[in-house]
Structure 1
Amino acid sequence: MRKLTELIFNNTYSELPSVFGTRVIPQPLDNPCLVSVNPAVCDMLELDPAEAQTSFFAELFTGNESLQGFDPLAMKYTGHQFGQYNPDLGDGRGLLMGEVITSQGKKWDIHLKGSGQTPYSRMGDGRAVLRSSIREYLASAAMKGLGIRTTHALAVFTSDTPVYREKVEPGATLIRVAESHLRFGHFEYLFYTQQHAELKLLADYLIKHHFSDLLSHATPYAAMFQRIVDLTATLIADWQAVGFAHGVMNTDNMSVLGLTFDYGPYGFLDDYQPGFICNHSDYSGRYAFNQQPSIALWNLSALGYALTPLLDKEEIDAALHSYQSRLQQEYSIRMRNKLGIVERREEDSALFSEMFELLANQAIDYTLFFRTLTGIPADKLTDSSHLFSELVNDPAPLQAWLNSYAKRLTLEQSNDAERLALMRLHNPKYILRNYLAQQAIEQAERGDYAMVETLLTVLTNPYDEHPDDEHLAVKPPQWGKALEISCSS
């Protein structure tokens, strides 16, 4: 483990031409205070967790100190926001501070979110508030715990700096850690400004640093785009399987590495609602839960169009055409794992359709439904609807489906112990429900960070039992389902 001053940097992105971003010095926060640090992310960086308790750590990541090796850069990109192209985007409240290299040669971007104004702030103050910083901090840990590709958050800080939103809130910073911060919008920016030589340079950079196995490919740019399509399809399958709604799937929020990126008004499903809209500002429902697969394809099409200086139309179309089958394949694997079904059978589509109809008709809690199933032996399924008494209003349709499920398991001579073990690995007990995040935020705003730490612990291992924290895995109160979350930072 290393001290901060022992970190090794290799700032490859800031070495690119100036059109890729602008160097900016972070604007300090007053009297910074550490809210929480994630030990797992410290391990990723090979950073000694004890460093987080030093005053230098707090001063460094709130703009009051600097570190040799840091080369702060506000990245320039554009993108489609709610379907409309916006040329005036970029890191408006964040900075790429540098790229840490581990002893194994792994590169990690260190990004400071809430660092003040940049040329891309669009009249904003460039600040983040504690509320949004805690939401991203916990969400990134939750997604990592669920096994879903994501950006990470090393730590979150609060301060005495006032930030003016609907009310005065404490200014905060989040240290985001990612393999790369490259977005679909980086390529759109260079395409729409007709900087085609730089577009090729960025594609070469992406291949060299992240898809190096494609360097000797006969058509590397086509293979690069196909890789992005595959990674995106896999990510969306992950989201849909766990009931995660991103909320703002603009192209500038889409990672070319298939990472869950830019946590804003996200939400995990409580009651199963296919058309769940987690973003209060999404008036048309463009980014509703059940629209995410098609929106991802729309975004990939926008990226494909931006890559036309490098790719033939046939190459773009071929990659886009593969998206749906890849998504369905990945999603099918995940849903079969959730039910402990190993074999593929023709009649399975009816079993799944009936299950989703049941979940929707009775507004059954998505996570608790599957987690409850993980505790029922096959020979008990035909008389087990009472175990769901807190989740359903009418047990008859549920019992009918449980009977069908039991019959299906007999067709493949399912081994009960193996099935239940498989299901427990794919059905979390703990998810980051909005009301839990809100309670942690309200306590943190009063200076109490205990709930942030508790949630971090259970979300890091969401499939495990946490006997002291069972209350975090129960059905949410009605008021907790009605919280309105918007894009406000």
Structure 2
Amino acid sequence: MPAFAFDNSYTRLPERLFAPARPAGASEPFMFAFNSQLAEDLGLDVSWLEQNGAAIFSGSTSPEGAANIAMVYAGHQFGQFNPQLGDGRAMLLGEVVSPQGRRYDIQLKGSGPTLFSRNGDGRAALGPVMREYIVSEAMHALGVPTTRSLAAVATGDAVYRETALPGAVVTRVATSHIRVGTFQYFAARQDVEAVKALADHAIARHYPELEGREHPYLGLLQAVIRRQAALIAKWMGIGFIHGVMNTDNMAISGETIDFGPCAFLDVYSARKVFSSIDRNGRYAYANQPAIGQWNLARLAEALLPLINEDQEAAVAAANTAITGYGEIFQDEWMTVMRAKLGLGEARESDLTLIQSLLSMMEEGQADFTRTFRALYTVAQSDAADAAFRSEFADPQKAQSWLNDWRDRTAEDSIEPTVRAEQMRNTNPAIIPRNHRIEEAIRAAEDDGDFSLFGALHAALADPYSDRPEFERYQAAPLPHEEVPRTFCGT
């Protein structure tokens, strides 16, 4: 019996959508992380992979039936169009269908150069691999649609950036790796046949309810808009900053993809940027919703020939869909924020209450995650007011807002215990804070010590619970612990 029951639908598309790839392998593969629960969910042989995964997931051995392809795509990077990108350091190992009937890609990332590497080495360093594993799995535990991490392998080989770094490969799982940039690649070449083949594949894979409809390609655009609006609203609700929202990093499945210089807010700031390459703040925290709409407009442009043969009619329909994103996002964001504040029936005044809290947090240098978690404790007991106030530079102003919040919650018919439980499940106690990720990376890179990585991963597996053994992961960084910049792994 093969280790993977691959059924590689993407390789049945026109060959110009991808190129053959061969992983470079590793001299001394060591699998330091294996997601056995995910493997079981995918229907894989867990015990066999625990024994043989280092060779498979480092690219040293290619399993029977593997696709071994790199996907081609284009993309707007910081607003500038690059007509050819593609999987420069990733390779689609293959597709599997889970016992529940869902199809998933299994992809090696950092496995060596491909046709699309553009003179790069195609490798990944240990630090970015650890970051992707930690953050993607944390996002899943936080309830945010995301690609997953199946395994992480140290290769025993050096990769060269500014200095020599230990190399590694992460195995990524996604419902697909089709991006806005995948459509852009073929649209830029006026290859309508390929755009249609890709769109039909995307509909069958992600939006089968659209098959047979009168306007399936407009429906595809509308469906992607809804999923992206909901996704970005969830990002905003946990203080997540993606860092590189290029069109080649937006998956049409509605999953978070490509964890490069991503980070979570500590002190709340609407204009916060972590990425070292985002010098002008294009992808700052508060800009993410608008960037999402901008990216979706690029998808609309690529789909125009399919939406309607009459270009004027196609543009009008696409514009209506894109314009509708704003209202969809606002509704999704308000749903997220009302849940975080424990509000029931919608009130017009809710937006003012939410915005006044965010403004007060920014002015008062309050920690994003700890403030909302403290509000949850207030919902449990009036005696917790002091903990909430302590997060702000001006405790008196914080108490004034808290009084307004109590007046608002009194208007709802929600039982206090129900409200508190709702707030507990939307306001995490633990997030993958930048300084803790860096701490784990330093220990692994400098000393070969993966214990901090394991402890952080264990803490993040249940982020909505207060557990004494993981109390250190709830603390905000001290001034000397802050990590103000994150870096792309290429």
**Partner in structure 2 of residue 92 of structure 1:** 88
Once the two structures are overlaid, the 10-residue window that deviates more, 102-111 or 336-345, is: 102-111
Residue by residue, what CA displacement relative to the aligned partner does 1:355-374 show, whole Å, maximum 9, x if unpaired? 11110101100000011111
The yes-or-no answer on 1:193 pairing with 2:200 is no
Instruction: Tell whether 2:455 aligns with 1:454.
Output: yes
Distance 2:376 2:45 in 1: 38
Mark the runs of 5 or more structure 1 residues left unpaired by the alignment: none
C-alpha separation between the residues in 2 aligned to 1:53 and 1:188?
Answer: 39
Candidates 32, 41, 44, aligned match of 1:35? 32
Q: How far apart are the structure 2 equivalents of 1:182 and 1:373?
A: 39
Q: What 5-or-longer segments of structure 2 have no aligned partner?
A: 308-313
Residues 353 and 105 of structure 1, relative CA distance in 2, 3 Å threshold: closer
Q: Which residue of 2 aligns with 1:320?
A: 322
Q: What does residue 18 of structure 2 align with? A: 21
Task: Kindly indicate whether residue 488 of structure 2 is the aligned counterpart of residue 487 of structure 1.
Answer: yes
Q: Distance in 2 between matches of 1:403 and 1:141?
A: 37
SS at match of 1:74: strand
Report the Cα offset of residue 39 of structure 1. Answer: 2.7
Shift in CA distance, 379/176, structure 1 to aligned 2, threshold 3 Å: closer
Conserved in 1, the CA contact under 8 Å of 2:334 and 2:351?
no
Aligned twin of 2:203:
207
Distance 2:363 2:163 in 1: 39
C-alpha separation in 2, matches of 1:44 and 1:378: 36
Q: Aligned partners of 1:463, 1:81: CA distance in 2, in Å?
A: 35
Quote the residue 1:363 is aligned against.
365
SS, match of residue 160 in structure 1: strand
Partner of 1:472: 473
Within 1, Cα distance between the matches of 2:455 and 2:71?
A: 34
Aligned to 2:444: 444
Match of 1:334 in 2: 336
Q: 313-322 or 334-343: which moved more? A: 313-322
- Please give the alpha-carbon distance, in whole angstroms, between the structure 1 residues aligned to 2:481 and 2:293: 32
Aligned partners of 2:255 and 2:115: how far apart in 1?
26
Q: Structure 1 vs Structure 2: percent identity of aligned residues? A: 38
Note if contact 1:8-1:102 (Cα within 8 Å) is conserved in structure 2. Answer: no
Q: How many residues align?
A: 483
Q: Output aligned runs, 1:278-357, within 5 Å.
A: 278-311=274-307, 312-357=314-359
Cα–Cα, structure 1 residues 67 and 379, in superposed 2: closer, same or farther, change >3 Å?
Answer: closer
Would the aligned equivalents of 2:146 and 2:256 in 1 still touch at CA under 8 Å? yes
Q: Is the 8 A contact 2:221 2:300 kept in 1?
A: yes
The offset of 1:62, in angstroms, is 1.3
Change (3 A) 1:379 1:64: closer
Give the match's secondary structure for 1:111.
Answer: strand
> In the alignment, what sits opposite 2:411?
411
Give the Cα–Cα distance (whole angstroms) in 2 for the partners of residues 231 and 376 of structure 1: 33
Contact 2:375 2:388 in 1 (8 A): no
Instruction: Name the TM-score, length of structure 1 as normaliser.
Output: 0.96
**Alignment match, 1:112:** 108
Out of 153, 161, 164, which is 2:160 matched to? 164
Instruction: Return the offset for 1:322.
Output: 1.3
* CA drift at 1:354: 1.3
Shift of 1:390: 4.5
Structure 2 residue aligned with 1:434: 434
User: What SS class does the counterpart of residue 308 from structure 1 fall into?
Assistant: helix
Distance in 2 between the 1:123 and 1:378 partners?
57
- Among candidates 102, 125, 128, match of residue 121 of structure 2: 125
Conserved in 1, the CA contact under 8 Å of 2:273 and 2:281? Answer: yes
Q: Deviations over 1:199-236 (max 9, x none)?
A: 11111111112211110211111101100111111111
Give the TM-score taking structure 2 as reference length: 0.96
**1:44-83: CA deviation from partner (whole Å, max 9, x where unpaired):** 21224333431x2111121211211102001000010000
| Mapped contact 1:378–1:406 kept (Cα < 8 A) | no
Q: How far apart, CA to CA, are the structure 1 residues paired with 2:265 and 2:140? A: 18
2:213 aligns with one of 217, 221, 224:
217
1:270 pairs, out of 258, 266, 270, with 266
Kindly state the Cα deviation for residue 389 of structure 1 after the two structures are TM-superposed.
5.5
